[in-house]
Amino acid sequence: MKTPAQLCAMAPVIPVIIVNEVAQAAPLARALVAGGLPVLEVTLRTPVALEAIAEMRAACPEAVVGAGTLRNAADVKACMDAGCAFGVSPGAPAALMDAVAEAGMPFLPGCATATEAMALADRGFEVVKFFPAGAAGGPNLLKSLASPLPDVKFCPTGGVSLENAPDYLKLPNVCVVGGSWVIPNDALANGDWDRIEQLARAAITALRPLQKV
């Protein structure tokens, strides 16, 4: 398995995906990977999420498929059983972090404050999710944390767009962003895979030069 730092270096954007129908999974993964975004986060927000992850892995072996919105030890076990390459959480309760450590799962735990980031760094996490990025202070907050916490790297997610992603990626402590803008709801619902591939390519073109690897 790749480490979180290695995963974050693969592309400047990790698509945050909500799959409502299993049939969407394979063509969506192919479109995103073809557009240059191989690391995919499928959130556990729908009943078909784990099945969709399996479909993506089978249909697109070059994709690195993980799960988002993990909240407890049961989620960790289910995701490990499903072959997820990594996990992501909106927060970092102690029981969840203990389960992640026991499973040996590559993980991006969520934080929104300096105290939370420091606690996660003490647990050995070098890369953490900053969520909800926009509501929690955006680039200005992360810029303020760069000097006192130089060893912590962030993946801001929540309110990130193609327009404001450069404001995050230009910061020394941001290694990647997470976003759903490359998968518009109408494109997903209509199966407009060409549009999704084009949005992925546009993200790579605009943001790859800003990414620090």
User: pLDDT value at position 199?
Assistant: 98
Mean pLDDT for 98-127 is: 97
Query: 63-76 pLDDT, tens per residue?
Result: 999 999 999 999 99
Mean residue pLDDT across the chain: 97
**First-to-last CA distance in the chain?**
18
Query: 127-157 pLDDT, tens per residue?
Result: 999 999 999 999 999 999 999 999 999 999 9
Q: Can you name the residues that pair with 15 across neighbouring β-strands?
A: 179
Helix (H/G/I), strand (E/B), else coil: 100: helix
Query: 76-95 pLDDT, tens per residue?
Result: 999 999 999 999 999 999 99
- pLDDT confidence of 37, banded at 50, 70, 90? very high
Rounded to whole angstroms, the Cα distance separating 159 from 181 reads: 9
Asked if pLDDT for residue 1 goes beyond 90, the answer is: no
User: pLDDT value at position 213?
Assistant: 72
- For the annotated catalytic residues, the residue numbers are 41, 129
Beta strands in 100-201 (DSSP E): 107-108, 110-111, 127-130, 153-156, 177-179
Asked if pLDDT for residue 104 goes beyond 80, the answer is: yes
- pLDDT confidence of 102, banded at 50, 70, 90? very high
